[in-house]
Amino acid sequence: MNPSKFTRREFLALVGGVTALSVTGLVLHPQSISAEVRPPGALAPNELFRAACLRCGKCVSACPHQTIRQNNERLPYIDGINGWCFFCMDCGIACPTGALRPVDPHSTKLGTAIIDRARCLAWTHLECHACYDQCVKLKQAITLDAQKRPLVDLKRCNGCGACVTVCPQSNLEGRSKEFGKAVALVAD
């Protein structure tokens, strides 16, 4: 097939193939490919994980902390809203395909916490360091600056989501947990 000039047959085959993929939901959505933080041991790159994952939910059921959720495509992810990852590796053990593999919990990085300074209470002149207090117990990836505002050490953060879980911001706003957190996890 000449990429600069399609025959009518080649064009119709291409359109038919894209349509079939769209209908079956197999077209990759760029915003969902790397935006979500996957459970520990997820195959990389994300396209490989997506191909290997059966979307069976066994990792979700195996997580003793109910940290792992499934998106609208039934792919597992961690966002810290319901709880953080303790790196117990039960999800990797439960995975029937190897899309999640047991890994060393001390060297695994799921993603990175990002603080929204416009929403963070400590950055908007109120006193709060819930994320810092929680992280000091676990990873020490959040420090406080001279004004006692939290800063994430990108090299130390393992993306466990503990800071997201304890962030009180959405509770103070009286909104659902999904809206308004001042800390979010992003995939690396």
Residue pointed to by tokens 């109120």: 126
Among 126, 132, 121, 162, smallest CA distance to 37 is for 162
Backbone Cα Rg of the chain: 20
* 92-129: pLDDT as tens digits: 999 999 999 989 988 999 999 999 998 899 999 888 99
Q: Is 166 left (phi over 0), alpha (psi -120 to 50) or beta?
A: alpha
pLDDT per position as a tens digit, 8-23: 665 455 545 444 433 3
What is the CATH number assigned to the segment(s) 32-94? 3.30.70.20
Give start and end residues of each alpha helix (H) in 25-168: 30-33, 46-52, 58-62, 90-94, 130-138, 162-166
Which pLDDT band, with edges at 50, 70 and 90, does 29 fall under? very low
CATH of domain 112-186: 3.30.70.20
- The amino acid at residue 82 is N
| CA distances from residue 13 to 7, 16, 29 in whole angstroms, order as listed | 10, 5, 22
Domain boundaries, the chain: 32-94, 112-186
Total length of the chain: 188
- pLDDT computed for residue 125 by the predictor: 82
Evaluate whether 32-94 and 112-186 have a shared fold. Answer: yes
Whether the pTM exceeds 0.85: the reply is no
